Amino acid sequence: MKRLFSFLLVLFSVFNLFSQTQVDSLLQLSKDAPEKQKAELYLELSLKFKDDTAKSNTYAKMAYQLAVKNNQLSLQATALYNQGEIKYNSSDYHLAIPEFHKALSIYKKVNDTINVVNCYKLIGLCYYNMDQGDKAIEQFIEGMKMCEHDPRNTAKLLSNMAMTHTRMRNLNDAIYYYRKALAINSSIENPEGMAVNYNGLGEIFKTLHQPDSALVCYKKAKELNRKTEFQAIALSNMAGIYMNYPDSISKAVDCLKQSWAIFRQLGLYQHEAEFKQGIGIILLKQGKYKPAIQAFQESIKINDKFNRGFKIKTTCYNLLSKVYERTGDYKSALIHLKLYIQYADSMEQKEKYDRLANLEKRYETEKKENEIVRLQAKQELTLIQLKKNKQLKQLGITAALLLLLLVFFVELKYLDKIKSNRILESKNRLIEKSEQELRVLNASKNKFFSIIAHDLKNPLHNVLGYSYLLNNDYEKFKEEERRKFAGDIYHSTNNIFRLLQNLLEWSRSQTGNLNFSPAVVEYQRVLDNSLSVLKSLADQKNIAIKTGYNPDLKIFADPIMIETVLRNLINNAIKFTPEGGHIEVSAKEEDGQILVSVSDSGIGISEEDSQNLFRIDSKVKRKGTNNEDGSGLGLILCHEFVEKHNGKIWVESTPGKGSEFIFSIPAKAIA
């Protein structure tokens, strides 16, 4: 391997020594090329210098002049189009429009329909950015006339029209055009276009104070763009809707966390400013003023770190003023109110500064263009010298390559033998792994069909049987019998619901669609959420549930998963505890671990059954003390969720004396 590395290093050095940059190669080609080919080379150079507006514009102009001289119509149009794009990207919209119009007239002459549509589209966007909506829509309509058989471009133009109507506050027209674009994008299976349309509709419905409709649209936009910046924006929009409803605050927090996770994964760390601001707003609505103040202050720091401008900072200062006012700190409220007014005024002045910056930018552009002309003359002299050395370099390169290739093939032969042995070992390991996975998959399939065939069928039969009797012979039964039937129907449907809930969560974990979002949460809130849905079951059997934990205990976990684990363990304890029994749920921190215990005074579990409770291929299924059904899926789900947190779960039980289920998870995030 060392010899191969040395060989590759030498090879790279040779190529690096004798190779020219791609830009230098184009410059040299443009020097030696026939005049009719120079326009194409200058256009390529214009594209290579996209980040340098002055150079890019100069080469586009040179390409246009040569194309005019040699009557090359298509190249003339492309050069003009490039000049228009350069001005458009520099926000010089009033200068870009004439360039696009010139290109448009030539594209029409040569029947280049695609670029005709592109010109209309960009002219319309120029007018849109100049707040001349009527003119923008005229251009989009002209573009649509030219692309009747191009559904993708038609959908884009319809979306642009909807966007323009939104800015003009013609919201009904905007909805109409977004829906037309959505229908076309759906028919051609264009998820990116559909996501843009749904997000646009969501913004309109939000403006119309129709949050439910806005939320539906944002959700669809999010699902159509996974793990992208657009999905993160859609999630942030959803959070803005949820936080206006007190019973949906947790959903707003989840959306903000998911949004920030995607931004962080994409390396867009500047968006943490919006995330902190959103969390601060939620804390403010919950009356948690101290953490809200901290969140707003962090948002301002992150905003300044990434130079995000005044908008986020201005909003945060306004919110900080309101928080301090509510806490009675009127001095701090006044200070932040003044800061809010100061930055709000600064935002109004920004447009003036932008105009001044544009003037300075134009001056710098002209200065660079003159410098380019001087450098080009110098470059031509350098190319003459390079041409003389080229043949000698080519001979040296050829000789070196032949020698290095010979060494390479000898080394390659040796490495092939080593690689073959490694591949054989790797395949043997893969076969063993596949066999193990196949056994697990087969057990999962058997468990699933067992639940469908037996555990769902029995309670459904109960519901069907009792409901049939009540429907057909209602008057024949006494009131006491009817009440019993109703109670049995309730218990059966309750069992079906819990089983389906576990099935859904289990299937999501098996398919990899389960979202794992650990965070620092209050243990008390997680426990209260779990107990709230089970209290009625415990009351029916006259079972007392006691809890023991430090009220300030916090855990680092996915709250939804841990609620599911607690809910299943407490539900099992209720099921296997006779009437009048008791259950104790305790939690404590010990050696960097959070230990949670659910113990009962129930019927207990044999040692043999205890060893198989958490296995997918387990055959352990028992009836509760009141003949309640069980599938065994809940404990399997508990095992998977605890392992997801790098924790452990086990049981300690004595038949006839009760059971204690214990699980542990790390107290803090593992670095």
pLDDT the model gives residue 611: 81
Rounded CA separation 262/231 (Å): 8
- Domain limits, the chain: 23-148, 150-225, 515-666
pLDDT the model gives residue 238: 87
Rounded CA separation 567/562 (Å): 8
Question: 525 or 8: which carries more pLDDT confidence?
Answer: 525
Q: Which CATH architecture has domain 515-666?
A: 2-Layer Sandwich (3.30)
* Strand partners of residue 587: 596
Please give the span between the terminal C-alpha atoms of the chain, in angstroms, as a whole number: 34
Q: Which CATH class is domain 150-225?
A: mainly alpha
pLDDT digits (tens, 9 = 90+) for 421-431: 788 777 777 87
pLDDT the model gives residue 104: 92
pLDDT digits (tens, 9 = 90+) for 60-112: 888 888 888 888 888 888 989 998 988 888 888 889 999 999 999 999 999 99
Average pLDDT on 457-486 reads 78
Rounded CA separation 122/93 (Å): 10
pLDDT the model gives residue 417: 74
Mean pLDDT of the chain: 80
- Select 23-148's CATH number: 3.40.140.80, 2.20.25.90, 1.25.40.10, 3.30.870.10: 1.25.40.10
3-state DSSP call for residue 669?
Answer: coil
Domain 515-666 in the same topology as domain 23-148:
no
Does the pTM surpass 0.75? The reply is no
Tell me, letter by letter, the H, E, C secondary structure of 536-553.
HHHHHCCCEEEEECCCCC
Q: With CA atoms as reference, report the closest residue to 140 among 163, 170, 119, 161.
A: 161
pLDDT digits (tens, 9 = 90+) for 619-638: 566 777 777 766 667 788 88
The pair of three-digit structure tokens given for residue 299, joined into one six-digit string: 């948002």
> 231 near 258, Cβ under 8 Å?
no
The pair of three-digit structure tokens given for residue 622, joined into one six-digit string: 């028992």
Rounded CA separation 602/638 (Å): 20
Q: Does the pLDDT value for residue 14 go beyond 60?
A: no
Rounded CA separation 185/197 (Å): 9
Q: Does the pLDDT value for residue 204 go beyond 80?
A: yes
List the strands of the sheet with 582-590, edge to edge. 544-548, 582-590, 593-600, 658-666, 648-654
pLDDT digits (tens, 9 = 90+) for 105-142: 999 999 999 999 999 999 999 999 888 999 999 999 99
Q: With CA atoms as reference, report the closest residue to 104 among 117, 93, 89.
A: 117
